[in-house]
Amino acid sequence: MNLIALGINHNSAAVEVRERVAFAPDQVAEALEELCRLQDVEEAVVLSTCNRTELYVAHAPDREMAPQKEQLLRWLASYHHLTASELESSAYFHQGQSALQHMIQVAAGLDSMVLGEPQIFGQLKSAYAVASEAGTVGAELGRVLPRVFSIAKKVRTDTAIGENPVSVAYAAVDLAGHIFADLRSCTALLVGAGETIELVAKHLVEAGVSEIVIANRTLGRARDLAQRFGAEAVLLSEIPERLHSADIVISSTASQLPILGKGAVEGALRSRKHRPMLMVDIAVPRDIEHQVGELRDVYLYSVDDLKEIVDENLRSRQTEARKADEIIAAGVTEFLSETRSLAAVDSVREYRRMAESLRERELDRALRAIARGDDPQQVVAQLARGITNKLIHAPTAGLKAASAAGRQDLLANARQLLGLASDAAHPAAANVTDDGGGVNPAAPADSASEASNITAESVASKNPDGQTLQ
């Protein structure tokens, strides 16, 4: 497989690094086209979430791996106006089978901060769809990613890895429960209207929070969520006048710039008479300026700060993770076996075309002989001998050359391919001419029959359409 995965995630880098290499949704299509303009990068998919940025590429088969890694790292850094040295210690790299295994682990939620979380599966499918639309998915990724999704789905179906996972959204609400004695008396301001904020709203309602305000760039999606959870929908521009009433602020948008600055929060704190405010920034890049954490009466947490809460979830799910690893290993082995078998398809088709051409020529010769009045029995016998000798001519010449060169490995492989017993002698081979002209007259009477049997058993094989050579 000419497959590479290069990335940076929550395990390899802090949020301060991850936010610098995140791709906004409207950047991805352009980035994919630029990535595929790199030398020998033929296909590409870009995955960018709050916890990871990863590049999946298919490259030309004759390239070395090391230059490819350096090239991708330089491109990722350059795209985000960084230097490769700034990312080198945080980046990880997988190739071939390792890349495939990593992609499945990502899709199954095994590489997530929250073990087994389901959101990443949909995020990777969306990334694949965007790349397909951009025209950067070809034969390699077009085979690999559907199988990645299939195996990841099997992991979720056959294990309990995805049952009631502690999500980042849940961890944020759980944190609020530790800061405030009674969440029922709290007002929550949610910034954004994506899947994570939807989960946050769900957990807040379950925790008893009765007053929720959802702020978003557009009102449509915010109103949909507000209607579902009995909340109020406002625009992002209304946040400054709403901020002072919020005890809990949880933000998760795709903005490339901070939405809440230190000045706005300072003003809200004055109006609150310094009542404490919990702010949880789940976004990458961050929505809330990190200087806000310097203010008294503000408890500011980033997505990385929630790791301690989700680590307990990780420990409790290790048994299921081991089961998942076994499923992934089996799936990878099966896929690689199928991939290797595809390499023989062209050879099988070419060999079949050669055999069919030979058969047509010999059959035409036989039909003309019968038309001339030749004995049909002798014609059929000659037809069989002609096909047999011509089919075994090239293998016979190859076997003799291998034997003369002392290539016992080739001889052993040939015997296996031809379906011959590994420890059997093969005197009949010496009695077959290497010019395709027929059986040596000095051979025993049954040599032609033996050669015919060898051909029938070993040359007859299934073609891709499931037909047997005659």
Asked whether residue 227 is marked as a ligand-binding residue, the answer is: no
Please check whether residue 288 is in contact with residue 300, taking contact to mean a CB–CB distance below 8 angstroms. yes
291 and 366 together in one domain? no
**pLDDT confidence of residue 267:** 94
189 and 299 together in one domain? yes
113 and 129 together in one domain? yes
Residue 24 lies in a domain: yes
61 and 124 together in one domain? yes
**pLDDT confidence of residue 408:** 87
In whole angstroms, give the CA distance from residue 141 to residue 132: 10
Residue 470 lies in a domain: no
Asked whether residue 36 is marked as a ligand-binding residue, the answer is: no
Residue 306 lies in a domain: yes
- For residue 438, the number of C-alpha atoms closer than 13 Å in the C-beta half-sphere is 7
Residue 413 lies in a domain: yes
Cis amide linkage into residue 444, ω under 30° from 0 = no
Domain containing 82 — which CATH number? Answer: 3.30.460.30
335 and 377 together in one domain? no
Contacts of residue 404, Cβ cutoff 8 Å, sequence gap at least 6: none
Residues annotated as part of the active site: 50
Asked whether residue 52 is marked as a ligand-binding residue, the answer is: yes
Of 325, 342, 359, which residue sits at a domain end? 342
Asked whether residue 197 is marked as a ligand-binding residue, the answer is: yes
Asked whether residue 34 is marked as a ligand-binding residue, the answer is: no
Stretches in the chain below the pLDDT threshold 50? 66, 424-470
Asked whether residue 372 is marked as a ligand-binding residue, the answer is: no
- Domain that includes residue 329, residue range: 3-165+317-342
CA angle 372, 373, 374 (to 5 degrees): 100
DSSP 394-426: HHHHHHHHHHHTT-HHHHHHHHHHTT--TT---
> How many domains is the chain partitioned into structurally?
3
Asked whether residue 7 is marked as a ligand-binding residue, the answer is: no
Asked whether residue 83 is marked as a ligand-binding residue, the answer is: no
**pLDDT confidence of residue 65:** 56
Tell me the C-alpha to C-alpha distance, in Å, between residue 468 and each of 361, 396, 456, 461, 465: 19, 22, 10, 6, 9
Neighbours of 251 (CB within 10 A): 26
Helices (H) and strands (E) in the chain, counts: 18, 10
78 and 200 together in one domain? no
75 and 25 together in one domain? yes
202 and 261 together in one domain? yes
Domain containing 295 — which CATH number? Answer: 3.40.50.720
**Per-residue pLDDT tens digits for 367-412:** 999 999 999 999 899 999 989 998 888 888 888 988 888 888 888 8
Q: Is the torsion defined by CA of 184, 187, 193, 194 positive or negative?
A: negative
215 and 290 together in one domain? yes
Tell me the C-alpha to C-alpha distance, in Å, between residue 322 and each of 91, 319, 326: 25, 5, 6
Contacts of residue 239, Cβ cutoff 8 Å, sequence gap at least 6: 189, 191, 215, 259, 260, 264
- Phi/psi at 451 (nearest 5 deg)? -60, -40
Residue 198 lies in a domain: yes
Residue 116: which region, alpha, beta or left (left: phi > 0; alpha: psi -120 to 50)? left
Residue 469 lies in a domain: no
310 and 378 together in one domain? no
22 and 111 together in one domain? yes
Cα 234–chain centre separation: 38
161 and 194 together in one domain? no
Residue 27 lies in a domain: yes
* Paired tokens of 254: 């795709």
**pLDDT confidence of residue 6:** 97
pTM for this entry: 0.66
Task: Kindly tell me the burial class for residue 205, based on how many C-beta atoms sit within 10 Å of its own C-beta (0-12, 13-18, 19 or more).
Answer: middle
Residue 260 lies in a domain: yes
